[in-house]
């Protein structure tokens, strides 16, 4: 086997491990990730899987980074076409809700689950989760401030307060979806964000009573 082919195969194997790792962590938590569990799921040897990461903590950190890439691709990247300030902020918030609606992660909001799992712990995994959540909140805060400068939000608007409330609304949405299995939370979340961001709530309507309700996405390795 040529070195190039070997490198390509190793990259594919690593990508498959991380995809499966994200799916498992999304539904069972980052502590549910073990070398043995993933090796069995993917038909790999433990030594072969260990060769890609070296330790459980390295695997967890790589899974967190992969989940972040997926999250930002499905949220921030979806909003890039909107003008900075309030249009971008609204687009980011809509994509934030939409990524749950589209079941990008099979267990709901990956970072809500990870934060709950690690908020009282110390160490590199907690630091990684906190840092990535902080990056998202920083971007939201930036566009709140730009919206205030443009006059699209009232002068004196507290950007930290707005971000605090946006995060609270998304925590409530995830709680409604995962614990109560109530998909009506999407409409309530959109109405709450519309009220906070100065958009007429009348533009947010509930889906028809007979609208199909998508089920949970299966946990897969791809």
Helix (H, G, I), strand (E, B), or coil: what is residue 123?
A: coil
Angle in degrees, CA 66, 71, 76, rounded to 5: 130
Segment 123-138, tens digit of pLDDT = 999 999 999 999 999 9
Whether residue 106 contacts residue 29, with contact meaning beta carbons closer than 8 Å, is answered with no
Q: Which of 112-116, 130-134, 212-216 has the lowest mean pLDDT?
A: 212-216
Whether residue 11 has pLDDT greater than 60: yes
* Helix, strand, coil abundance in the chain, percent, nearest 5: 70, 0, 30
User: What's the predicted TM-score (pTM) here?
Assistant: 0.85
Backbone angles phi, psi at 134, to 5 degrees: -60, -35
Q: Which among 24, 35, 38 has a CA at the least distance from the CA of 67? A: 24
Whether residue 200 has pLDDT greater than 80: no
- Of all residues in the chain, what percent carry a pLDDT higher than 70? 87
What pLDDT was estimated at residue 125? 97
- Between CA 150 and CA 86 the distance in angstroms is 9
Segment 42-97, tens digit of pLDDT = 999 988 888 888 889 999 999 999 999 999 999 999 999 999 999 999 999 999 99
């Amino acid at each position: 086997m040529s070195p190039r082919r070997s490198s390509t195969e190793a990259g594919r194997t690593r990508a498959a491990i991380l995809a499966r790792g994200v799916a498992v962590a999304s539904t069972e938590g980052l502590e549910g990730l073990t070398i043995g569990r993933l090796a069995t799921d993917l038909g790999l040897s433990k030594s072969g899987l260990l060769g890609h990461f070296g330790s459980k903590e390295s695997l967890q950190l790589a899974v967190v980074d992969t989940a972040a890439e997926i999250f930002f691709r499905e949220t921030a990247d979806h909003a890039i076409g909107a003008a900075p300030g309030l249009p971008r902020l609204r687009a980011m918030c809509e994509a934030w809700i939409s990524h749950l609606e589209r079941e990008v992660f099979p267990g709901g909001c990956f970072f809500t689950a990870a934060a709950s799992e690690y908020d009282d712990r110390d160490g590199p995994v907690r630091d990684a989760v906190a840092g990535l959540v902080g990056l998202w909140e920083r971007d939201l805060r930036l566009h709140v401030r730009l919206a205030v400068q443009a006059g699209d939000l009232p002068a004196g608007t507290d950007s930290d307060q707005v971000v605090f409330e946006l995060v609270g609304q998304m925590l409530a949405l995830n709680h409604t979806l995962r614990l109560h299995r109530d998909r009506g939370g999407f409409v309530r979340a959109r109405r709450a964000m519309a009220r906070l961001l100065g958009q007429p709530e009348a533009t947010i309507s509930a889906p028809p009573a007979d609208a199909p309700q998508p089920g949970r996405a299966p946990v897969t390795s791809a």
